[in-house]
Chains A and B, each alone.
Chain A
Amino acid sequence: MMAALIFVFSVATLLMFFVSYCRSLMAASSRHTLSREVRDVTGIPASASGRDFERVMQLLRLCPERPDDRTGLQAVGIYYGILNVVEKTVAALVPSVHMWAEQERAGCANFAIVLLDRRIAFSREILAQQGEF
Chain B
Amino acid sequence: MVALGFRNAARSAPRLVAVTLLVGAGFFLMLVMHTIGRAVEAHTQALQRSVDATLQVRAAGSMGHVNMVAQSDILPPGALDKVRAIPHVEKVETYLLAMTPTEGHNFAMVVGFNPGDTKRLESHGEAGTGKIIAGRDLTGADRGKRVAVIGQGFARWAGIHPDRLPAELTLDLTRTHPVIFALERPAAKLSIVGVYASGYVFGDMQLFIPLDTFREIYGVPQGLSWLYVKADSAASVPSVERAIRAALGDQADTIAPTSVAEFQTTTTRSVLRLTAAGMALSALLLAVIVYFVMLLVVRQRVREIGTLKAIGAPNGSIAAAFLAEAFAYGLAGSALGLLLYFGFGAHLAKQAFALAVGPFIPAQYKDTQLDVLRVSAGLDAAQLALIVAVVALVSLAGSAHGLLHIVRLSPLQAMRQE
Question: Are A and B part of the same complex?
Answer: no
